[in-house]
Amino acid sequence: MFHYLLLFCIDKINGQRTIAAIFHLLKGKRSAQTIQDANLYRLTNYFGIYRDLTREAFAKEVENLHQKKWISISDNHVGQITCIGTQILQEKKGHYPLSMYKGTEFVSFLELFRQRLQLWIQTYTNIVADQRKFLAVTDNEKAQKWVKGHYRLHKSQVDNWLAGVYKEMSGFLETVPTFYAQLFVDRLTGYQKVGLTIGQLANKNNVSDHDVRLSLEAIYHQLLQYIEQTKPLYLSDFVPIDHVKKNTFITESATKTFKLMEEGYSIKEITRLRRLKESTIHDHIIEIAYADPQFTIANFVGADDVEKISHAIRNVPNNKLSLIKQELQGNYSYFQIRLVLASSSDLRTRRG
C-alpha cells in the first residue's frame, strides 16, 4: 500500500516538485509551500496521513522504488514515474482504496479522537469487570482528562454506554473490508486483552509496518466519515467538538494576514505592519484562495485578465508557471497566475 501511495503521489506531482515535497505532505507539514502543493496537485486527502513517517524510512522506500525502476530520480532529487511504474499503478488500481482518506478534513483532530476512543474502550471494559488498575494505552493528557470527565458524567450508565458503542461500532465495521475491520479490532486493548503492536499486526497479515500504519489511518478516516454522515448517538461523543467542521487547512501566519485583509488593509500596508516580504503576503493570499471557496480574487486580477490567464493555463501542460508566464508574454505576474490556479479547481493538475 505504501509503495502504491508513493507512486500515486509521484505521478500526480509529475516532476514539478522534489521527492521531499511528498514527505512533507504525508507528514502534514503546515508550511505555505506544502499546503499549496497539496491543493495544486489534488493531494489534500493525503495531507498528514502518515505523521510517524521518518525521513530515513521514506528515503529507503523511495530508493526501493528507484531500484525496481518504477521511478526515475534526477540529480536535483525530482522523481518521475516510469513506464513500469505507470503499469504498476494501473494493475493495482482498486486494490488499495485511497479514497478512504480525507486528510485535510480530519488531520487536526484525528489523533485525539483515536486516543480518546482507544482509552475509553480500555477504561470502560476494565471498570465493568471491576478492574480499576491497568496501564493506560496512551499518556496523552487531553485524552485522559476527557475519559475521566466522561466517566464522571456517565458512571451510572457504564453498561449502557458499552452496549451502545459496541452496537454502533459493529455497524460501522460491517461497512468496511474485513482486513481493515480485523486490523482495527486487533489493535484495541481492553479487559484481559492487549492490543497487537504494529510489528505483530504486520507479521500476522504478512504486510509491512508502513502498510499497517496506513491501513489503520484509513479506517479511522472512514470511521470519522461514518460518524459525520450517520450521527450515531454514542460514537459522536468522541469527536472533539472544537474541531467539528473547522477549516484549519491554512497556516497561522496566513490567518493573521486574512484578518488584516478583512479589516481593509492593502498588501503593502500588511507587509509593513507584519514586517514581512511582499512575496510572503502573496503566499498567504494564495493559501486563502485555496482554503476558502468564497474568497474573491477580483481585487488582484480583473475578470478579463482571469479569462486570459485561464486560457494560457489550458494551453500549457502540467501547470508549469514559467511556461504559463511565457505564454502570456510576461504580461502577468506569477502571483496573478497562481491566484487564478488557486481559485479554479478545474485548472489544476492536468496532464500534458
As a whole-number percent, the residues of the chain with pLDDT over 70 amount to 95
Average model confidence (pLDDT) across the chain:
89
* Confidence band for 110, pLDDT divided at 50, 70 and 90: very high
In whole angstroms, what is the distance from residue 167 CA to residue 252 CA?
40
- pLDDT given at position 242: 65
Residue 7 CB partners (closer than 8 Å, separation 6+): 65, 70, 71, 81, 85, 88, 89
**DSSP codes, 249-292:** -S-HHHHHHHHHHHTT--HHHHHHHHT--HHHHHHHHHHHHHH-
Instruction: Report pLDDT for 243.
Output: 59
- Taking the C-alpha atoms of residue 5 and residue 217, their distance in angstroms, rounded to an integer, is 13
Does 351 have pLDDT greater than 70?
no
> Residue 201: CA atoms inside 13 Å, Cβ hemisphere, count?
23
> Over pLDDT 90: what percentage of the chain?
54
Centroid of chain to Cα 65: 23
Whole-structure pTM over 0.85, yes or no?
no
pLDDT beyond 70 at 316:
yes
Instruction: Show Cβ contacts of residue 214 under 8 Å, excluding neighbours closer than 6 positions.
Output: 1, 2, 5, 49, 50
Residue the block writes with cell 465493568: 128
Q: Mean pLDDT, to the nearest integer, of 183-189?
A: 96
Per the structure block, which three cell numbers stand in for 21? 515535497
Domains recognised in the chain with CATH numbers? 2-96 (1.10.10.10), 110-243 (no CATH), 252-347 (1.10.10)
Confidence (pLDDT) at 246: 52
The answer to whether 4 and 35 have CB atoms below 8 angstroms apart is no
Residue 194 pLDDT class (50, 70, 90 cuts): very high
The grid coordinates of residue 132 equal 480499576
Q: How far apart are CA 1 and CA 219, in angstroms?
A: 14
143 vs 299, more confident:
143
Query: 3-state DSSP call for residue 326?
Result: helix
| Pair 52, 274: CB distance under 8 Å | no
Closest CA to 18 of 93, 85, 71, 88: 71
